[in-house]
Amino acid sequence: MIYLDNAATTMQKPEEVIEAVVQAMHSMGNAGRGAHSASLEASRTIYDTRELLCRFFGGTDPRRLVFTSNSTESLNIAIKGLFEPGDHVITTMLEHNSVLRPLYEMEKRGVELTIIPADKKGVIDYNDIEKAIRPNTKAVVCTHGSNLTGNLVDIERIGKITRKNGLLLVVDASQTAGVFPIDVEKMQIDVLCFTGHKGLLGPQGTGGMYVKEGIQIRPLKSGGSGVQTYSKSHPAEMPTALEAGTMNGHGIAGLHAAVEYIQRTGIDQIRKREQECMRRFYEGVIQVPGVKVYGDFDDMNRCAIVSLNIGDYDSSEVSDELLTEYRISTRPGAHCAPLMHEALGTVEQGAVRFSFSHFTTDEEVDTAIKAIRELAEE
């Protein structure tokens, strides 16, 4: 199988990630729930990974790095824990449902919401963000990279807008963490939400968030914490405040190995290779009659994603043909990005998304190009 669905999850993991998870399952107990060696090993692994990720994202305090199961949980914690009725929040049409649905829920509870439009290439006008600011605006919540078009968002520019206006900036880094450098201080990100199973090359069921000092988030969950057992309230100290229950220690061990692999390989080298695959594929299909590619490719510094359609064919039919006839795995349909499809005019048809890994070979890319050309001819 030629796996080109890395924007959903990176299936090809470094061998050391798999080994770390297996080793952890042989030896790891429950972190913070005992003084025996198995529990202490889990605690050390989680603490070391917390420190590693804090440095990786340019954070200043490892205690502000919280582990979750994925970006969706991180975004739910941030959105439902930061905003109150009467607050105004700004977001964009580029967003995944992991941002949109929690915001819609909060809108029903009295939070005001403004959605910044995108053009036919899926690009926003940053001036629209400033124009949308009101006296009661509390935050901008936005993605760092579109999971549908691959368009990159200038987070540092938005960070300057939010800082100038005294707003919070909550960033969904699902498509960029592990591939693009992220520095929460330089980019002025107040809450960074990330997942472990995509660009970070870790196991599914891992993720987290970095919350800057001074920002208080209401916990989404409460329960066991390993400390303050006789208190009726969940501990307020970070990171315990947002980490109720047993964490995925086995997955976190794999995530630690994954981040070390990224640092050893070089994040710039990983991104360069992914973008080479993307460019090779894009240039191979863009002139094929009947093929329409979505997104802004004027700047090739973007997520390694190419979404397309062939004529009026339903995207699911095309993706099905790619799998059955060519053994190429892609993602068709709406990609949990409904507003982005509205902007692109693809609500009914959807789109076929090709997303590349640094493990993808030139031969695999060329096979995908050949497949699209043959399907378009049919």
Least confident window among 41-45, 301-305, 365-369? 41-45
Enumerate the H helices of 286-352 as residue ranges: 315-326, 338-344
Query: Contact at 8 Å (CB) between 267 and 178?
Result: yes
**Residue 43 — very low, low, confident or very high, per pLDDT cuts 50/70/90?**
confident
**Residue 236 — very low, low, confident or very high, per pLDDT cuts 50/70/90?**
confident
DSSP string of 224-244?
--SS-TT-SS---STTGGG--
The one-character DSSP state at 13 is -
Give me the mean pLDDT over the 326-346 stretch.
97
Structure-block tokens of residue 236: 């307020």
Q: In this structure, are strands 352-355 and 305-310 parallel, antiparallel, or unpaired?
A: antiparallel
List, in order, residues 6 or more apart from 267 with CB less than 8 Å away: 178, 179, 180, 181
**Residue 123 — very low, low, confident or very high, per pLDDT cuts 50/70/90?**
very high
- Count CA within 13 A, CB hemisphere, residue 378: 10
The one-character DSSP state at 125 is -
Least confident window among 30-39, 108-117, 135-144? 30-39
Q: Between 37-56 and 249-265, two packed helices, what is the crossing angle to 10 degrees?
A: 40
The SS3 call for residue 178 is coil
What is the tally of helices (H) and strands (E) in the chain? 11, 12
pLDDT tens, 91-110?
999 999 999 999 999 999 99
Give me the mean pLDDT over the 253-282 stretch.
98
